[in-house]
């Protein structure tokens, strides 16, 4: 029987590809009595890199002895150093805390809140931040505190300072931009490296900017898409997590493209958030490895 998420731990590894990696990791887990429930690995031969994800039961229930995560972490540190590993150890009993940023388009926000309520997103959502008030009623319906912080060029630094205070007070681990139509400052991105996920209403790198569906309609394309990606200081150029497309025809007008695009945006953003929460993503350079 597969362990519940909160009864498991996940180890993510990135390191130079070399012999003995799998044996070293699995052997140490075996030595601590781990019951591995999922393991996956990938090699990027061109980059000479090895990636691995291992999930195992913590044994908190069902008659199993509890896995000593602290002792394992200490014992694994010399192995990580020997192989030059960049490793992350995550425990399922600690639920990530997620802040959602939104502007006036509420379809992605509504989708995320519904999926969270249904148990699809294993996290806490302590707050929603917006530069408009449109989402306040929706936040109130789901019982999540809503903070409206108007932003303009003249007060952007002041507004972001208020956002930082809220995020730090709430102990936020991940920020999701659910059609938040503001460009984050370099300082904001540096504060939360690899911890901000955006959805772009286009199949990046095509049709960047604020009106991609209009540009796609003008170009007469037959496919439109949406992209979820990590945010970096370079606009719309962060590592891509997920993309999806749908076909359109000459009969479709701009509003049809926008309506179909909204469905894609909901799907690709929720997948990206779920995979991040499930610790299935490893980022390297400007690329990602997404484990099954």
Could you give the residue numbers annotated as active site?
Answer: 236
The helix or strand, by DSSP H or E, that contains position 212, with its residue range, turns out to be: helix 212-219
What's the burial of 263, exposed, middle or buried (CB within 10 Å: 0-12/13-18/19+)? middle
User: How far apart, in whole angstroms, are the C-alpha atoms of residue 268 and residue 204?
Assistant: 13
Angle separating helix axes 212-219 and 254-277, nearest 10 degrees: 130
* Paired tokens of 142: 């789901």
3-state secondary structure of 92: coil
User: How far apart, in whole angstroms, are the C-alpha atoms of residue 28 and residue 169?
Assistant: 37
Cα distances from 110 to residues 113, 133, 143, 178, 188, in angstroms, run 5, 14, 13, 9, 25
Contacts of 269 (CB under 8 A, 6+ apart): 108, 111, 112, 176, 178, 197, 199, 226, 228
Contacts of 46 (CB under 8 A, 6+ apart): none
CB atoms within 10 A of CB 106: 19
User: How far apart, in whole angstroms, are the C-alpha atoms of residue 198 and residue 122?
Assistant: 19
What's the burial of 69, exposed, middle or buried (CB within 10 Å: 0-12/13-18/19+)? middle
Tell which residue, 87, 71, 93, has the closest CA to residue 25: 87
């Amino acid at each position: 029987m597969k362990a519940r998420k909160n009864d498991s731990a996940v180890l993510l590894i990135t390191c130079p590809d070399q012999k003995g990696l799998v044996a070293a990791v699995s052997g140490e887990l075996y030595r601590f009595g781990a019951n591995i429930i999922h393991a996956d690995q990938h090699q990027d031969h061109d980059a000479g890199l090895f990636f691995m994800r291992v999930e195992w039961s913590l044994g908190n229930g069902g008659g199993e002895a509890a896995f000593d995560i602290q002792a394992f972490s200490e014992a694994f540190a010399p192995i990580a150093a020997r192989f030059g590993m960049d490793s992350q150890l995550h425990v399922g009993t600690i639920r990530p805390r997620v802040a959602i940023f939104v502007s006036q388009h509420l379809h992605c926000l509504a989708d995320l809140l519904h999926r969270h309520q249904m148990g699809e997103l294993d996290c806490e959502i302590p707050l929603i931040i917006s530069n408009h008030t449109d989402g306040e009623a929706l936040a109130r319906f789901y019982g999540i505190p809503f903070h409206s912080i108007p932003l303009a060029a003249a007060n952007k630094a002041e507004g972001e300072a208020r956002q930082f205070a809220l995020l730090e007070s709430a102990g936020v681990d991940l920020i999701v931009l659910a059609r938040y139509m503001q460009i984050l400052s370099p300082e904001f991105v540096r504060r939360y490296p690899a911890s901000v996920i955006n959805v772009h209403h286009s199949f990046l790198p095509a049709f960047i900017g604020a009106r991609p569906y209009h540009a796609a309609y003008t170009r007469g394309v037959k496919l439109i898409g949406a992209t979820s990606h990590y945010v970096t200081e370079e606009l719309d150029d962060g590592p891509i997590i997920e993309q999806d497309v749908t076909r359109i025809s000459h009969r479709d007008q701009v509003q049809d493209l926008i309506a179909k695009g909204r469905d894609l945006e909901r799907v690709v953003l929720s997948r990206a958030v779920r995979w991040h929460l499930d610790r299935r993503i490893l980022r390297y350079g400007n690329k990602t490895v997404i484990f099954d």
